[in-house]
Each structure stands twice: as C-alpha cells, then as structure tokens.
Chains A and B, each alone.
Chain A
Amino acid sequence: MRSGAPSLELLRGLAAQQGVEPSDEDLEAAAGFLRVLLAQLRDLEALIPPEVEP
C-alpha cells in the first residue's frame, strides 16, 4: 500500500477474508478514499516519539 491506493484485487481479498463482497464500484470508491488517508497516516507515524505507547 505504500505506493498510494491499494489494488482492487488486494481490497477484494481483504473483504473476502471478512465475509464481505463489495462491487468493483465500491472497491474503487474505497480505494480513492484510502489513497488520501494512508498518505496522511504515513506522515503521522514520523511525528510520534517511539516511546509513546497506545
């Protein structure tokens, strides 16, 4: 997922593992949503001191 949006095949597999069967249209919409958020979260990781626990 580091290159941006996850592939639809990957998302379809993740959904299947959890018993969910989205359409291609659903997967594309979710992938678009994740593209922005995953980039933000990667940047966030660098801002948390390593000693901070959940």
Chain B
Amino acid sequence: MPSGGRAWILGIDTSGAAGGLALLEREGETLAGRALDAGARSSRALMPALDLLLREAGVRREDLAAVGAATGPGTFTGLRIGLSTAKGLSLALGIPLYSVSSLEALALLAWRLRPKGEPPEWILPFRDARQGELFWARFEAPQAPGGLPRREGEDGVAEPSRIALPRGRTLAVGSDAALPPAWAAWVGVSHVALSTAAPAVARLAREALMRREPPAPPGLEPRYGREPRAMTQWGAPPGVDHGPSLT
C-alpha cells in the first residue's frame, strides 16, 4: 500500500447510534474502516480505533491529507466528540478539516449500496430527532452510477406526516430509525438502513479537497438542527448576547 506524501483521507462519523471511521485513498479507491461504539461511549473508543485503523492499513499520521467529520444532524454528544477530535487532528497535523452533512453522507452511501433494479430518482435520508420528529433532507439521485446525489433544499426537522415526500421512485435511507408508519402508504419507496456513513464522509471530504473548497473555520459548530431548550422554553431571554471573547 502506498504510504508516502499525504495520500489518505480520514472520515469520522460519530453522529449516529453506531459510529465508524474510514480511511480512503486520495487518488484511488482503497478503503479501510472500523466500526465504533456510539454516542458518549465513542469518547473511549474513538482514538484507540483510529490508532488501530492506521496501523492495520500501514498508514502513518503524516500520510493524512484531510479529515472529514460528520457534523450532523445526529446525537449531540457523539457530534461533539467527533468534531472536537477532528479539530484537534486538523490543528496538530496541519491538515484541512471538512464538515460533512450526516444526511448527505447517508444519501451517498445509500446510493452506492442501492438495491438492484431500476435506480431511484430521489434519495431521502432521515434520522431520529426524538420528540416524534425526524431530521431529513432530500436529494436528487445522480445521473451516472459514480455521481453524487444533488441536494434539494436544506436539512429539515419535522413529524414524519408533515414531511413532503417526493413523487417518483425514492430510496429512503434510515439511520437509527425504521421507516415511519406515516409513510406506509407511500408508493415507490424502497428503504435501506445504514448505521454509519463513515466511508461516504471520507468520500465527500475527498471531493471537497479535490475541488479546493475552503476548509471548516476553527469556530465550526455541529449542525444541531434544534435550538437549545433554555433559549426557547421561557421565550427569548433578555439582554444582548455579546458572543464569545478571548481574554
């Protein structure tokens, strides 16, 4: 396996009920990966898994060209552990960090693992948002097998019955959530369940690197998809939020 000259992209996904790491060749299709304990437990598991993944693949830390992190929506604790780790790696290795939408990564992985038969026209990734709601997004399926799904609109959070389902053959991809009963009568849907999309996170980070997209700023935050309860339960708090400052 080649090991010289920053030849590998690392993908970190701690956003779902199960997590994963993936190592993807910068110019090539060699892929290695490891599953991870999820949520708060990923704090204990993440770095040992990363260390092992690189050693098994014969890749040195200095061979990493970029790191991609799934930044949500997903479980808050997992997102914070994954993103804080990715920021530390990016800073200490001097490599760019790319923030990857968890739903976009799910859509891409579902497309690559799609069931045999007529290809879908739409891909609809969704994830449990608790409180009876789902995080969801909608993507147009690629025209070519090797293409990328094209996003239509922003990530949303809503009850399943209030989500506007696409007309046409749709591949619904759930992570941590079964196909909602409200969607039972939906015609033309096929469903795959994926727990982690780490390989697609690495793939999308590689795309960003190749397209020379600006890396994530140091102050990047996860895509929480929800306001903190403290900011909404009593109405808007008074006083000006001065924002963070350094002393």
A is bound by B:
no
